[in-house]
Structure 1
Amino acid sequence: TLEDSGIVSFPDAPTLRGLKHVNELSLAVENGYQGAVCFIVQMSQANYGTINRNMQPELAIAIKKAQEKGVAIVVYTCHVTPSQITIKEEIPFKLE
């Protein structure tokens, strides 16, 4: 996760697999299923999550189309210790 001033951006490296999954979820939702993309932030403090358009503009386009079709996008922060990672809270997702 790329973090800057409380804004966490995905991906931090190009992800062809992630792009494929978003497109498949869009198709599934079009066919009557429910679908969601869940981003896990391995830090406890963040204001909101977004897509790193500079790293992968195609993913931003796919996420926007997926949202328009009804795919939910959720982002969760975590409490991280040397022995465990625990989900802390949901934060907003904003497609900038």
Structure 2
Amino acid sequence: MKFASPLIEGTLIKRYKRFLADIKLDDGSEITAHCANPGAMLGLKEPGQRVWLSKSDNPKRKLAYSWELTEADNTIIGINTARPNALVEEAINNGTIAELQNYKTLRREVKYGTNSRIDILLSDAGKPDCYVEIKNVHMLRTPRLYEFPDSVTARGAKHLVEMTDMVAEGHRAVMVYLIQRDDGDRLSFAAEIDPNYANALANAHKAGVEAIAYVCKLTPERIEAYRPVPVEIPKG
């Protein structure tokens, strides 16, 4: 995925109220940007970090700028949680995600479960539908080890139950963990942060829900998923 226009560089002043960030641009001006990330962003919201922003021309937007990337531990990291669904769709269509090939139809945001929408629904004649739920990953506390989640996600645990229900109905269900940084080798789960999610994943996996993870390479010009890493399922 190539950014529609060049990103704008700046320095983080502070992130606050979850969805707001004050940033000093390289021209010396200070702006407030939208932070489309509800998580804790551990290690990714420190004052003084280098950041990159996109700017919208939509006059109806309250905040023209969106925080896209940050630099931490000499690594560029994607923090915009609105990006992964499009990135995974692109990676399916170009053949990068081998596990999700050979489906004729791809649809986004299809209703299912209890008042939920599946991120991607893959279908083809003669085979079970494939329900794909996508989660953004950007936490790395131990060298080379990605972790999810970085905060409690009751919604994420609910999705795992609904994915399990799809498997019980004869469908295929796949969790895709899209990692927006490129400095690790495997994905694990932070049970001390959200034990309920770790337990829900363990149960879902035992019931047949698949879990895969793909790493992105990132520059201020583009983001693309390009390589898989092993997923360490919690014991449960």
Q: TM-score scaled to structure 1, two decimals?
A: 0.93
Instruction: Tell me what 1:51 maps to.
Output: 189
Taking CA–CA contacts closer than 8 Å with sequence separation of 6 or more, which of the two structures ends up with the larger relative contact order?
1
Instruction: Tell me what 2:226 maps to.
Output: 88
Unaligned runs of 5+ in 2: 1-137
SS in 2 for 1:35: strand
Quote the Cα distance in structure 2 between the aligned partners of 1:95 and 1:66: 10
SS in 2 for 1:78: strand
Deviation, 1:45, is: 2.6
Q: Is the 8 A contact 1:44 1:88 kept in 2?
A: no
- Counterpart residue identity of residue 8, structure 1: Y
Deviation, 1:50, is: 1.3
Quote the Cα distance in structure 1 between the aligned partners of 2:231 and 2:215: 12
Deviation, 1:17, is: 1.3
Q: RMSD of the alignment, in Å?
A: 1.1
- Counterpart residue identity of residue 59, structure 1: Y
Deviation, 1:23, is: 1.0
Quote the Cα distance in structure 2 between the aligned partners of 1:5 and 1:44: 12
Quote the Cα distance in structure 2 between the aligned partners of 1:18 and 1:6: 24
Instruction: Tell me what 2:166 maps to.
Output: 28
> 1:8 aligned to 2:150?
no
Quote the Cα distance in structure 1 between the aligned partners of 2:233 and 2:205: 10
Deviation, 1:47, is: 1.3
**Structure (1 or 2) with the greater strand fraction:** 2
Deviation, 1:20, is: 1.0
> 1:75 aligned to 2:213?
yes
**Structure (1 or 2) with the greater helix fraction:** 1
Deviation, 1:25, is: 0.3
Q: Which has the larger radius of gyration?
A: 2
- Equivalent position to 2:203, from 65, 79, 82: 65
Question: Stretches of 4+ moved more than 4 A in 1?
Answer: none
